[in-house]
Amino acid sequence: MQKNSVQLKPGKEKAILNHHHWIFSGAVSRLPKFSDGEILPVLSSSGVMLGSAYFNRKAGIVGRMVTFDSESPLDAIRKSLEAAANYRLSLFNSGDTNAYRLINGEGDCLPGLVVDRYDDVFVVQISTLGMEKLKPLIVEWLKGKFSPKTIYEKSKISSRKEEGLEGVEGHLYGEEVQEVEIIENGLKFLVDVVGGQKTGFFCDHREMRKLIGNLSCGKRVLNCFAYSGGFTVYALAGGAANVVSVDISGEAMEQAMKNVSLNGFQAVPNSFRAADVFEFLRKEPLDYDIVILDPPAFAKRQKDVVAACRGYKDINRIAMQKMPPGSWLLTCSCSYHVDEELFQKVVFQAAVEAGRMVRIAGKHIMAPDHPVNICHPESDYLKSLLLYIQ
């Protein structure tokens, strides 16, 4: 038995044998002396080699697997990076779409790492100490694979606290870039990589934006929690009669106006409302053919779930009460702790309280650059329901 290895308790190897990446502290029978963030071999209770993981005593998820065999862990990480890149390069024509998620954590067998590509600007987000220690390898690989103009880190997420990490943000390589223009399905967007939310743009809703574009011809559209106007631009490109965008951030509304103008549409100032969406929904008549509710995560921790469900029910109930018969509601949740089943139950309760007949016409269409590892379903976080309001 290797002295510097981690040994699991009897019966706790099943998840690892099924290629699940997480090792909880309660599954470990023996830890060697090691530095937090170090990669160590993982053994079953009987001493069988299961693979390698990086470990952190401070975290509830004490280990995260990077390989499930005896291969060198650094070699396995490089192979996972290459496989992720080659998969994305097979998906997208850079002339039509040059912005996508390049690395999607466990979905690409690289727990703790997200990389979004915006043309020749790459934004890195690291959530774990083990991946933090691998940052030099990640940066060198990105440089060698893509010769980027800029690599920017935006690791300011709450989950880093449990890992004993502070939030980090700044340029890692290349030119200091604030904003980059991208193309998505032939439409143009300006992405604020420094001041924008998350990594700057929400590539995960690409397919749902396309769906709204296809539904919008001649329609009156309300885009709530509009951020930089992704759904707004698609609706206009789809021939919407008019689109009203609402977000609490004035800066987001300014960015949305820029994106509308960038695509040759008129950015009418009173169609962009810097307002609290809850108050807007309560006060306005909502005489729209399509309403989009795409809020930020209401539940960032498990203990927030009850309050989050109350928020989801409120905004959906108010919208359903006021929307005209024959209209469409696209309602979304990116709260990891509110799963698809619970979200649908909350929307059902909203429909009952609103006294409306509501039919589910569609569900979330996953963007293929955000793959979910079938062995690690916890990384599936985004839910959408397309509802027909009678």
Helix pair 230-237, 206-215: axis angle to 10 deg: 40
Q: Which residues of 24-34 are buried (b: 16+ CB within 10 A; e: fewer)?
A: eeebbeeeeeb
334 is known as an active-site residue: yes
Q: Which of 203, 217, 334, 375 is labelled catalytic?
A: 334
Q: Quote the tokens at residue 247.
A: 């977000």
Q: How many residues does the chain have?
A: 390
Query: Cα 355 from chain centroid?
Result: 33
Which residues form the catalytic set? Answer: 334
